[in-house]
């Protein structure tokens, strides 16, 4: 499958170089590490000013039902945020009164299946990846969130900024009391 996709990209001229592929993979891993260590200040620096961060809520529907559950932005979504809106959420953690985050939650983001392709904009790249976000808080409170992401990353100097992210969580009922975790 990978071969086919790679060939397809080569045919379309959207195949990314080895170096670019690794540079973006390393960027995703760094992002994951920042989130694991609650380093939200540095994470916010990885977000472009024109960021759109979307995580739709997915209902269980019959196949014949053509309701667009993923890209229709007028439907219910866990996140449908601009950068200022994300920053607003993050500012809760800086108040010092987010009681439920103290003692701290432990996180691991596992990012895998990274695919990189070129886009019509020379400085922007589409990156597909899968995430397994694990968190453990209190004594035995644990959650596993699994899904895929389709990102656009923009090259800015030597680094990259996240311009678009659509994260599709595979839950119907969120099997948790909240989502105090970014993926």
Partner 1 sequence: MLDRPLSPPPVEVIVAVTQALHCEARLLDNEDFDGWLAMLDEDICYRMELKSRRFRADRSPPLPVGPGVIFNEDLGRLKLRVDRLKSGFVWAEDPPNFIRRAISNVEVVARPAENEVRVHSVLIMHRNRIDGTTRVLTAARTDLWRGEGQAWLLVARDIVLDHSVLPDSNLNAFF
Partner 2 sequence: MRFERIGREPDYSRYMDLKEGWLDRRIFSDADIYEEELYRIFARSWLFVAHESQIPKAGDFLTTHMGEDAVIVARQADGSIRVMLNSCPHRGNKVCFADAGNTRRFVCNYHGWAFDTAGDLKGMHEEYCYDDGDIDFKNHGLKNVAKVSSYKGLVFATFNGDAPSLEAWLGDFRWYLDMILDNEEGGTEFIGGCIKSVMSANWKFGVENFIGDAYHAGWTHDSGCRSMNDGMPFPPIDMENSYHASVNGHGWEFGTEGVGDLVLLGRPKVMDYYNKIRPKMAERLGEMRSKIFGSVASASIFPNVSFLPGISTFRQWQPKGPMQFELKTWVIVNKNMPDDIKEEVTKGVMQTFGPGGTFEMDDGENWENCTTVNRGVVTRHERLHYRCGIGRQIEHDTLPGIVYRGQYNDANQRGFYQRWLDMMTHDDFSKMPTRPEPRLGNVAETRDLPGLFAL
Partner 3 sequence: MALDIASLVDTGTGRQSRLIYANEEIYRQELERIFGRCWLFLVHTSQIPKPGDYFRTFMGEDDVIVIRQKDGSIKAFLNSCTHRGNRVCRADRGNARAFTCNYHGWSFAPDGALAGVPLENEAYFGELDRSKFGLVPVTKVSEYKGLVFGCWDANSPSLEDYLGDAKFFLDVWLDAMPGGSALLGETQKMVLGTNWKLPVENVCGDGYHLGWAHAGAMSAVQSMDLTGLSVGNSGVDLDGGLSVAGMNGHMVLSALDGVSGYAFYPDPKPILEYLEANRQTVIDRLGEVRGKQVWGAQVNITIFPNLQLLPGLNWFRVYHPKGPGQIEQWTWAMAENDMPEAVKTQILENQCLTFGLAGLFDNDDGDNLAACTEQSRGWRTAQMDVYTNMALGRSGKREGFPGDIAAGLVSEHNQRYFYRRWQEHMMAENWAEVPTYNINSLTAQEAEHA
Which chain residues interact with partner 3 by CB under 8 A? 99-100, 103, 138, 140
CA 106 to chain centre: 18
Residues 6 or more apart in contact with residue 108 via CB below 8 angstroms:
36, 133, 134, 135
Q: How many residues does the chain have?
A: 183
Question: Is 62 a binder of partner 2 (CB under 8 A)?
Answer: yes
Considering the complex, state which of residue 85 and residue 124 has its C-beta at the smaller distance from partner 2: 85
Q: Which is nearer to partner 1, 111 or 163 (CB)?
A: 111
Nearest-approach distance from CB 40 to partner 3, in angstroms: 21
State the binding string over 72-101 for partner 1 (x if CB under 8 A, else -): ------------------------------
178 touches which of partner 3, partner 2, partner 1, none (CB within 5 to 8 A by kind)? partner 2
Residue 132 contacts partner 2 per CB under 8 A? no
Cα–Cα distance measured from residue 164 to residue 153, given in angstroms and rounded to the nearest whole number? 7
Q: How far is the CB of 124 from partner 1 (least distance, A)?
A: 18
Distance of CA 59 to the CA centre of its chain: 20
Alpha-carbon distance 96 to 85, whole Å?
Answer: 19
**Which one of the spans 17-25, 28-36, 83-91, 123-131 is the region binding partner 2 (CB under 8 A)?**
83-91
The only residue of 40, 43, 79, 153 in contact with partner 2, by rule CB under 8 A: 79
The entry of partner 1, partner 3, partner 2, none that residue 19 binds, CB within 5 to 8 Å by partner kind = partner 1
- Contacts of the segment 114-118: beta carbons below 8 A, 24+ positions apart: 114/21, 114/24, 114/25, 114/28, 115/5, 116/16, 116/20, 116/21, 116/24, 116/25, 117/9, 117/14, 117/15, 117/16, 118/9, 118/13, 118/14, 118/15, 118/16
By CB under 8 A, name the binding residues for partner 2.
55-57, 59-62, 65, 67, 69, 72-81, 85, 88-93, 95-101, 141, 172-180
């Amino acid at each position: 499958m990978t071969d086919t996709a790679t060939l397809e990209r080569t045919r379309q001229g959207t195949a990314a170089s080895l170096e670019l592929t690794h540079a973006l993979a390393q960027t995703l891993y760094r992002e994951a590490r920042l989130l694991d260590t609650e380093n939200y200040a540095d994470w916010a620096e990885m977000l472009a000013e024109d960021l759109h961060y979307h995580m739709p809520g997915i209902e269980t529907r019959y196949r014949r039902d053509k309701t667009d559950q993923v890209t229709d932005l007028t439907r219910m979504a866990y996140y449908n945020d601009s950068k200022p809106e994300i920053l607003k959420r993050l500012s809760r953690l800086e108040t010092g009164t987010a009681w439920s985050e103290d003692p701290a939650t432990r996180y691991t983001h596992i990012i895998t299946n990274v695919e990189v392709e070129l886009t019509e904009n020379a400085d922007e790249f589409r990156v597909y990846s899968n995430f397994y976000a694990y968190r453990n808080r209190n004594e035995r409170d644990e959650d596993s969130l699994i899904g895929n992401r389709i990102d656009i990353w923009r090259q800015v100097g030597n680094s990259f900024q996240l311009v678009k992210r659509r994260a599709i969580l595979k839950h119907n009922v969120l099997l948790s009391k909240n989502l105090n975790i970014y993926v």
